Amino acid sequence: MFDLVWWCASGLRRCRPRQRGAADRAVSDRGKSVTSLLNVEGLTIGFGNDAPVVEDVSFSVELGQTLALVGESGSGKTMSCRSVLKILPPAAKILSGRVLLRDEKGDGVTDLLPLSNRRMCDVRGNRVSMIFQEPMRSLSPLHRIGNQVIEVLRLHPDQSKKGKNKKRVLETFERVGFPDPERVFSSYPFELSGGMRQRAMIAMAIVGRPDLLIADEPTTALDVTTQAQVLGLIKDIQQETGMAVILVTHDLGVVANMADKVCVMNRGRVMEAGTAAQILGDPQHPYTRDLFAAAPKIPETGGSEKAPDKTDLVLEMAGVNKTYTLKGSAPWSPKVIVQAVRGVDLTVERGKTTAVVGESGSGKTTLARIALGAEAADPGSAIFFRAEKTSQPLDIQAMDRDQRVAFQRQAQMVFQDPYSTLNPRMRVMEALAEPLEIHGIGSNSERMARAEEMLKWVGLSPNMMTRYPHAFSGGQRQRLSIARALMLDPSFLVCDEPTSALDVSVQEQVLQLLEEIRDRLNLSYLFISHDLAVVGRIADDVLVMRAGLVVEQGPPEALFFNPKHPYTKALIAAQPEPDIHRPIDLKIVAQGAGDPSTWPESFRFDGMNAPPLTETEPGHKVRCHA
């Protein structure tokens, strides 16, 4: 068990003299009236002599309650809840405050901060446990899942009966929804999908029957349908065991679905705290209001459904297939053929946005790469590009060298990860001038002038030209990435999840920027996303993909107001919304997100014999048996 070991080991390393004297005067205020399970009072954390990153933060949580800590990255929410377990980074110092945990018998409280690390190990995993954001990184890749989970029981032997450990772990596995606990017990983390790994993490966290579960962005790395199921699971388990949950998240939709109490944080301070009904129903603080304004929402009302007129198409893809052949696990075993994209028809109108929505592995990124000619589709696919309305269509599959260079000037891409999209060794001006340099356009001073202009366009000041990417925040980097894509004055942009790594408020700004630029330059976007709410805002035409197939296609109004396909319905139902009166309907999610062979009769298929995409209304197509 990676994390427990790490807690204890890193705790021992950090056992400094500062803590030694305080270790034995752990406060036990028995006289005080005890109210909450966990009480954090006036917590202030700082690095070195810098201004504190967490300042005077207080919150409390009671058994059976869920407290949500909401805020953007860098708001100090993770720091605050990690200080409860004392697993802060080595350089962080707790400057003041108390973390009071009610004793097991309920007759007193203990301040956790002065506790020695040896005694903290009794608290961790036993009374308080934690789920982390990255399910892959919190499980040791070298050990079987079962052994990692059982280790929690071995580390806290007092509460387990010898020989019963395995049975208890298997029971927990069943509880978190593994259909075959025995198989999971003996499998390695890499054999499970992201959602399954997170379930294993939850199993590990609850197997010691803790009083408090801290979930640090437990679903941020998961697909929206998986997220809904994992959140539902946490809620169920909480109701069953009556433990307290602290949920750290940046997503107000998740908060609305889970929390009883909400604590909104920004720049290390609590902005607003209260019950979920108060905060979500009537936000008072301007920051909370900003967060609400930025949260993407699925449009409620159906607009006018009009069929797009397909006269001026920038990109036209018809019957696009892509298969990958993987080597078998051994030379004699047969090769595995993976169909990443199956018969996709897609058009992008000039000045409009076509969006592709789907979970990870649905083939949407492959489709984007094919559209840019970075990957060759299977023979028989037709992909044509028109730089201008009147120009001859260019067959992307069969470009010669000159055509490819010309195409690369017309079609650009905005990438997903703002932290790897810019070369850390290049100043902003070099990064921006690079496309022009590659294509040999303009003199140096002209390139610089263009770069400055583009910086202004994306809302950054020109004095950033000489800076390095590491001086910028994620949102700023994504702006730079957009500026770089615009340098060549393209007519077509592929945006591969440009906002999925950003905070909600920043996401809102970037989406707004993308819209502005599209309208200003008459750009056309192919927008890839897993988030229906984001797509609903920016797209004119949406394709919902599942396992390489388009299952439903139409304008966003039609799709959201009148979804036909169970998978689309599941996506919409799974979308957490910042409204406590609209809980996630897990039944719809489970049905749509399940295997195609479990879908309702008219949509059901098995393997390769998928039903055709039939047009039910003008511009609205659904994959179903007519």
Partner 1 sequence: MSIQPDGRYLDDRPYEPDPGTEARHADMDMANWRLIFRRFREHKLGYFSALFLLISYLSLPIAGFIAPYSPNFRHADHLYAPPQGIHLFHEGSFIGPHVYPITAEVDMEDFSWKYIPDTENPAKLQFFCEGNYYKLAGLFRTNRHLVCAPEGATIFLFGSDRLGRDVFSRILYGAQLSLTVGLVGITVSFVIGIVLGSIAGYFGGFLDWIINRVIEILRSLPELPLWLALSAAVPSHWSPVAVFFIISIILGILDWPGLARAVRSKFLSLREEEFVRAAEMMGAKPSRVIRKHLLPNFLSHLIASATLSIPAMILGETALSFLGLGLRAPAVSWGVMLNDAQNLASIEIYPWTAIPMLPIIIVVLAFNFFGDGLRDALDPNRS
Closest contact distance (angstroms) between CB of 287 and partner 1 is 6
Closest contact distance (angstroms) between CB of 593 and partner 1 is 29
Closest contact distance (angstroms) between CB of 372 and partner 1 is 6
Closest contact distance (angstroms) between CB of 33 and partner 1 is 18
Residue (87 or 271) nearer to partner 1, CB: 271
Phi/psi class of residue 276: alpha, beta or left (left: φ > 0; alpha: ψ in -120 to 50)? alpha
3-class DSSP assignment, residue 236 = helix
Residue (199 or 477) nearer to partner 1, CB: 477
Distance between CA atoms of 455 and 279, rounded to whole angstroms? Answer: 37
Residue (442 or 459) nearer to partner 1, CB: 459
DSSP 605: -
Question: Where on the chain is the footprint of partner 1 (CB under 8 A)?
Answer: 266, 269-275, 278-279, 284-287, 290, 372, 374, 404-405, 408-409, 412-413, 415-417, 420-426, 434-435, 438-439, 459-461, 464, 467-468, 470-473, 475-476, 481, 484, 488, 506, 509
Cα 574 versus chain centre, distance: 14
Closest contact distance (angstroms) between CB of 221 and partner 1 is 18
Residue (345 or 434) nearer to partner 1, CB: 434
3-class DSSP assignment, residue 553 = strand
Residue (382 or 399) nearer to partner 1, CB: 399
DSSP string, 267-336: TTEEEEEEEHHHHHHS--SHHHHHHHHHS-----S-----PPPTTSEEEEEEEEEEEEEEPPSSTTSPPE
Looking only at the bridges linking them, the beta strands covering 244-249 and 212-216 are parallel
Residue (279 or 588) nearer to partner 1, CB: 279
Distance between CA atoms of 140 and 188, rounded to whole angstroms? Answer: 9
Cα 339 versus chain centre, distance: 25
Closest contact distance (angstroms) between CB of 389 and partner 1 is 24
Closest contact distance (angstroms) between CB of 208 and partner 1 is 31
Closest contact distance (angstroms) between CB of 143 and partner 1 is 23
Within 21-58, residue ranges assigned H as helices are none
Within 16-116, residue ranges assigned H as helices are 17-20, 77-85
Residue (11 or 435) nearer to partner 1, CB: 435
Closest contact distance (angstroms) between CB of 393 and partner 1 is 21
DSSP E strand boundaries for 468-604: 492-496, 524-529, 541-546, 549-554
Residue (391 or 420) nearer to partner 1, CB: 420
Cα 430 versus chain centre, distance: 31
Residue (334 or 424) nearer to partner 1, CB: 424
CB-based contact 621:612 (threshold 8 Å) = no
**Lookup: tokens for 90:** 């080595």
Closest contact distance (angstroms) between CB of 265 and partner 1 is 10
The residues facing 245 across adjacent strands are 66, 213
Strands of the sheet containing 313-326, edge to edge, are 336-349, 313-326, 382-385, 394-395
Residue (461 or 609) nearer to partner 1, CB: 461
**Lookup: tokens for 48:** 């070195």
Closest contact distance (angstroms) between CB of 479 and partner 1 is 8
Task: Write 433-438 long-range contacts (CB < 8 A, 24+).
Answer: 433/487, 434/484, 435/484, 435/487, 435/488, 436/487, 436/488
> Would you give the end-to-end CA distance of the chain in angstroms?
52
State which amino acid sits at residue 392.
Q
Residue (55 or 223) nearer to partner 1, CB: 55
